[in-house]
Amino acid sequence: MAIKVLEQVAKIPVVKVDRNQFLMDKFGKGMNRDQVSQLLLDGPVNMVSKDRLDKVAKTCIMDNVLMASGASVLAGLPGGLAMAITIPADVAQYYAMSLKLAQELGYIYGFQYLWSEKDKLTEEAQDTLLLYLGIMLGVSGAAAILRAGGVAIGKQALKSIPQKALTKTMYYPILKKVLKIFGVSLTKGTFAKGVSKVLPVVSGVISGGMTFATMKPMGENLQKELSKMINYDTKQYEQDLESIRKEAEVIEE
């Protein structure tokens, strides 16, 4: 069920972040034409300091968490979608906002636009979103795959690093683990949201508090791992490859 939920939640309009517009809003002020071109081509990683990248990322985390924790208003949720994916609308919104935040953090740290010309996710982009969620949920090995470039990563950061074989047999077990944990998270989230609605007077407060308490550390997990892409070098690349191998072996045992 988890992959179907991911596919359906990704269709919620708020999920899709316009990379160019986002980067211009966060970094484009005061730039000349050449700087803007570089920003939109490669992202801000080689143009601004790590401190500024981290600061913008942390602001995005708080903005999205507060938005998600607020009035629980679905941004353009297509009618019947929540029923189609068998989870409540507010749970769908929770993961929609999580994926929105994940994309913004990815774009800050150099990732390219995830959507195709037809505004659909490619298979690689879908795997990237899945890895984002995996990192947010604390799945071992997900961050290493994202950094090492096993799926759709910002290749600019890896141009100087010799590419070794990161085969599907290495990262597929970790992707399966992400799906499993995401499925468990969905079940727990649906149950918790349902319990909160038993007391209608305080349900909004409970729901908002739960969202804040869970989404903020999820966003911080992703930001921390993505920030390691700054000055990413051969040594860290080798370490990530080794951690992927070990995690895959543990999962398969």
pLDDT digits (tens, 9 = 90+) for 49-99: 999 999 999 999 999 988 887 745 443 444 445 445 556 677 777 888 899
Rounded to the nearest 10 degrees, the angle between the axes of helix 89-108 and helix 19-27 is: 60
CB distance 100 to 14 below 8 Å: yes
Over the Cα atoms of the chain, what is R_g?
A: 18
The larger pLDDT score, comparing residue 130 to residue 94, is at 130
Q: How many domains does the chain have?
A: 1
Neighbour-count burial of 51, counting CB atoms closer than 10 A to its CB (0-12 exposed, 13-18 middle, 19+ buried): exposed
Q: Residue 190: what pLDDT?
A: 47
User: What is the rounded CA–CA span in Å between residue 224 and residue 143?
Assistant: 10
**Has residue 114 been placed in a domain?**
yes
**Has residue 24 been placed in a domain?**
no
User: What is the rounded CA–CA span in Å between residue 212 and residue 68?
Assistant: 8
For residue 146 the two structure tokens come to 């994202």
CB distance 88 to 191 below 8 Å: no
User: What is the rounded CA–CA span in Å between residue 21 and residue 211?
Assistant: 27
Q: Residue 84: what pLDDT?
A: 52
With CA atoms as reference, report the closest residue to 45 among 155, 180, 164.
155
Where does the pLDDT of residue 157 fall: very low under 50, low under 70, confident under 90, or very high at 90 and above? very low
User: What is the rounded CA–CA span in Å between residue 59 and residue 54?
Assistant: 9
**Has residue 172 been placed in a domain?**
yes
Q: What DSSP string runs through 105-149?
A: HHHHTTPPP-B-TTS-B-HHHHHHHHHHHHHHTT-TTHHHHHHHT
**Has residue 177 been placed in a domain?**
yes
Q: In which domain, by residue range, is 119 found? A: 2-15+49-252
Q: Can you say whether residue 166 is alpha, beta or left, with left for phi > 0 and alpha for psi between -120 and 50 degrees?
A: beta
Assess whether pLDDT exceeds 60 at residue 208.
Answer: no
**Average pLDDT for residues 234-251, to the nearest whole number?**
87
The larger pLDDT score, comparing residue 217 to residue 170, is at 217
**Has residue 80 been placed in a domain?**
yes
**Has residue 163 been placed in a domain?**
yes
Assess whether pLDDT exceeds 90 at residue 12.
Answer: no
**Has residue 42 been placed in a domain?**
no
**Has residue 99 been placed in a domain?**
yes
The larger pLDDT score, comparing residue 165 to residue 133, is at 133
**Average pLDDT for residues 156-163, to the nearest whole number?**
52
**Alpha helix positions (H), the chain:** 2-9, 19-27, 33-42, 50-69, 81-84, 89-108, 123-136, 142-148, 168-196, 203-226, 234-252
